Amino acid sequence: MSQSVGFIGLGSMGQPMVRNLLKAGYHVKVYNRSESRASALVDVGAIAVSSPAEVVEVDGMVVTMVSNDAALEDVTLGAQGLLERLGSGGIHISMSTVSPDLAYKLAELHKQRGSSYIAAPVFGRPQSAAAAQLKICVAGSSIAKERTQPVLQALGQPFDFGEQPKQANVIKLCGNFMIISAIEAMGEALTLVEKNGMDRSAVMSLFTQTLFACPIYQTYGPLIAEQRFTPPGFQLQWGLKDINFFLDNASQVYAPLPLAHLVQNRLLSSVAKGRGESDLSRLTQAISEDAGLEVVP
């Protein structure tokens, strides 16, 4: 394997993803707004550059894994953005959780320049990224998707959802809504457990081994039971961003989703209280507080 891949975004997810591409034999050029984050990857073979455009090999592939819509627009369309240099055969693999509207906009702009935009948002926390076990929702041109398969398989398990890139982002938002709703449910159940004088961890251990023996409950259940909200695997403020996108899309297609508004308010309240940089599971702290329970700091 000697193919080059550009990679933009070296946060808690991007770091292990780049390492897996290097292990798979790719030459990887990396860019991050905070240059210091590239140093550890340079030590294991990555090449650090000073602008998004510099990660691009003409007609090659670039992966972006950035925090929000504004960041993705900046590295794609801004000064020294990747799009102008990508070339007519180039492929942009966008693995960030962004709005379906932005995915549609970027797909059209890539098409106008003869390049391809593949939406490939992921399910999984940093541990899953490190283990190359991300679940990847993929949508875009069939020809481009075929070229991206080896890259995506080095990062996790891709699932194909057709030709329209924005559809992958809708699916990602639906999954995140279901995760946040499960966290709300676990928080409410464990609050009732504690109010009745029972051990939160013991009860959650029962559930995660029996009725709810699945990754979301097994990942978040112990965090909620033990009130371990740092270090964050997925920041609470990002959950609010995703629920906002989810409800924006629901409004566009006239879909009333009352539960989504409930968890949106829970997240909004938590961010207002300065908890945005904590783990997503910290939204359950408010449930305990409402019940008059002391929360472990």
105 C-beta neighbours (distance < 10 Å), count: 17
Residues in the chain: 297
Cis peptide bond prior to 231, omega within 30° of 0: yes
Catalytic hit among 29, 145, 172, 241 = 172
Sign of the torsion formed by the C-alpha atoms of 61, 99, 73 and 106: positive
Q: Kindly report the backbone phi and psi dihedral angles of residue 93, in degrees, each rounded to the nearest multiple of 5, phi listed first.
A: -100, 105
172 annotated active-site: yes
The pair of three-digit structure tokens given for residue 10, joined into one six-digit string: 């070296």
Least Cα distance to 63 among 16, 126, 107, 9 occurs for 9
Identify the helix (H) or strand (E) that includes residue 211. none
Contact 260, 246 (CB under 8 A): yes
Identify the helix (H) or strand (E) that includes residue 218. helix 215-226
How far apart, in whole angstroms, are the C-alpha atoms of residue 175 and residue 169? Answer: 10
Identify the helix (H) or strand (E) that includes residue 181. helix 165-195
How far apart, in whole angstroms, are the C-alpha atoms of residue 213 and residue 221? Answer: 10
- Residue appearing with tokens 């993705």: 72
Q: Which residues are catalytic?
A: 172
